[in-house]
Amino acid sequence: MLHIAIMGFGTVGAGVAEVVRMNAASIAEKTGEEVNVKYILDVRDFPDSPYADKMIKDFAILESDPEVEVVVESIGGAKVALEFTRRALQAGKHVVTSNKELVATHGKELLSIAKARGVNYLFEASVGGGIPVLRPLFEDLSANQIEEIVGILNGTTNYILTRMVKGGVSFADALKEAQSKGYAEADPTADVEGIDAGRKICILSNLAWGKEVLPQSISMEGISAIHLQDVDIAAKAGYRIKLLGRALRLPDGRQTAYVAPHLVPENCPIAVVDDVFNGIIIRGNAVGDVMFYGRGAGDLPTASAVMSDVLDAAAHRQNRRDIGWNESAEITPAGEIPMKWYLRGSFSSEDAKTLCGEVEVLSSGAVITGALTEAQTKDAAEKLGAAAMLRVL
């Protein structure tokens, strides 16, 4: 019997309890071990919950119970969650989390405590919700040198952009729709401004190259400044506008990561990832491009990933998963790496060519440049009087 404790009985915590309940028999059959949710820690009262008898308010109870082997942290944030995760690891318990903020900002410390105590700290659910992506990255692609990771990492903004592209709805109206459907929070800043995607691309980068990239060290740009006009021009020219998190290691060894909206060519598999779905491409030097696609959020999908970590931790009680990042990465600002850009204004394509060199003309007053740095592009955009400037994948 594997006894686990769940900390935080919100969407994810309740989803984990539900997955254990509904799939108890099949989990026991596959792993040869039954899972028991022994405690659920939450400050709130849930008198009518079927789990009422498991609810506790004092962390020390689960911390001091030697029977609890795995702790699920679904509290969120980096305050209480940080303290309880530290203490649970110190107490020799495996910890599993969906908390991308905590992993992105304090993962290095928590992984080093886990290593010292010989336990697992696993966080598959922190990126891509239910989509298997972190374990495939560090396990299935371990014989590759990872060259690039690029993906749609945030379902809320992808829903909004899909409504703008397919429904011709403005950003403001699409955001309201997303809020009314429960896809966006009342304060949508973390999603809309790219902060959530930024935490996730940092975690992916950390695992891919073993060096810490902190969210505050990378540039994050959201979608609130995207105009329908650019969505239309892009669509007619065979591109979709998507908010991408992207991490690169260049052949010269430079490393970068950033979040920004991009024009994505229609024939790229992530161009057709719509609505609240996520899609993440990983490029390895042997495997080429592989993509992982599915629901990037939601109670049961996220719980599926959390539970895979719980079972993985149990399967690796003795020989822990040696993942982690020790040193800090040296990050080249994304703007310094030459990339293609989309410019739109009332300029002539001849003027654009004069200033940017070779360009692809999308329509009158809309071009895609060759590979330029952000400073070069800004300079050209200013001289051309461009009204919009976006990256191109």
CA angle in degrees (0–180, nearest 5) for 41-299-26: 90
* Residue 182 binds to a second copy (criterion: CB under 8 A): no
Catalytic (active site) residue 236? no
**Hey, is 97 helix, strand or coil?**
strand
Give the interface segment with a second copy, choosing from 14-22, 55-63, 75-83, 369-377 (CB under 8 A): 14-22
Q: Which of 5, 62, 165, 307 binds a second copy (CB under 8 A)?
A: 307
State how far the Cα of 319 lies from the Cα of 323, in Å rounded to an integer: 12
**Host H or E run for residue 282:** strand 277-284
**Host H or E run for residue 87:** helix 80-90
CA angle in degrees (0–180, nearest 5) for 52-54-56: 95
**Hey, is 11 helix, strand or coil?**
helix
State how far the Cα of 313 lies from the Cα of 153, in Å rounded to an integer: 25
> In the complex with a second copy, which residue's Cβ is closer, 78 or 315?
315
Q: Which of 2, 113, 141, 223 binds a second copy (CB under 8 A)?
A: 141
Q: Which of 315, 387, 388, 392 binds a second copy (CB under 8 A)?
A: 315
Give min distance, CB of 281 to a second copy, in A. 9
Give the interface segment with a second copy, choosing from 44-52, 97-105, 191-199, 307-315 (CB under 8 A): 307-315
Q: Which amino acid makes up residue 232?
A: D
DSSP 331: B
* Residue 374 binds to a second copy (criterion: CB under 8 A): no
> In the complex with a second copy, which residue's Cβ is closer, 287 or 371?
287
Q: By CB under 8 A, how many residues form the interface with a second copy?
A: 56
State how far the Cα of 75 lies from the Cα of 96, in Å rounded to an integer: 11
Positions in 188-227 near a second copy (CB under 8 A): 210
DSSP 37: E
Give the residue from 19, 134, 41, 46 showing the smallest Cα distance to 87. Answer: 41
Q: Which of 90, 179, 255, 308 binds a second copy (CB under 8 A)?
A: 308
State how far the Cα of 311 lies from the Cα of 307, in Å rounded to an integer: 6
Q: Which of 34, 322, 330, 358 binds a second copy (CB under 8 A)?
A: 322
Number of separate helices (H) and strands (E) present in the chain: 14, 16
* Residue 143 binds to a second copy (criterion: CB under 8 A): yes
CA 61 to chain centroid, in Å, comes to 32
State how far the Cα of 207 lies from the Cα of 61, in Å rounded to an integer: 33
**Catalytic, out of 54, 200, 242, 340:** 200
* Residue 314 binds to a second copy (criterion: CB under 8 A): no
CA 215 to chain centroid, in Å, comes to 12
> In the complex with a second copy, which residue's Cβ is closer, 89 or 146?
146
State how far the Cα of 254 lies from the Cα of 137, in Å rounded to an integer: 20
> In the complex with a second copy, which residue's Cβ is closer, 142 or 363?
142
Give min distance, CB of 301 to a second copy, in A. 5
The owner of tokens 């014989």 is 143
Give min distance, CB of 287 to a second copy, in A. 4
Q: Which of 188, 284, 324, 365 binds a second copy (CB under 8 A)?
A: 284
* Residue 338 binds to a second copy (criterion: CB under 8 A): no
* Residue 51 binds to a second copy (criterion: CB under 8 A): no
State how far the Cα of 85 lies from the Cα of 107, in Å rounded to an integer: 11
Q: Which of 7, 19, 62, 68 binds a second copy (CB under 8 A)?
A: 19
* Residue 151 binds to a second copy (criterion: CB under 8 A): no
Give the interface segment with a second copy, choosing from 133-141, 168-176, 177-185, 235-243 (CB under 8 A): 133-141
* Residue 185 binds to a second copy (criterion: CB under 8 A): no
**Hey, is 368 helix, strand or coil?**
strand
State how far the Cα of 257 lies from the Cα of 194, in Å rounded to an integer: 13
Contacting positions for a second copy (CB under 8 A): 15, 19, 22-23, 26-27, 29-32, 124, 130-132, 135-136, 138-145, 210, 269, 272-273, 284-295, 298, 300-301, 303-305, 307-308, 310-312, 315-316, 318-319, 322
The residues that are catalytic are 200
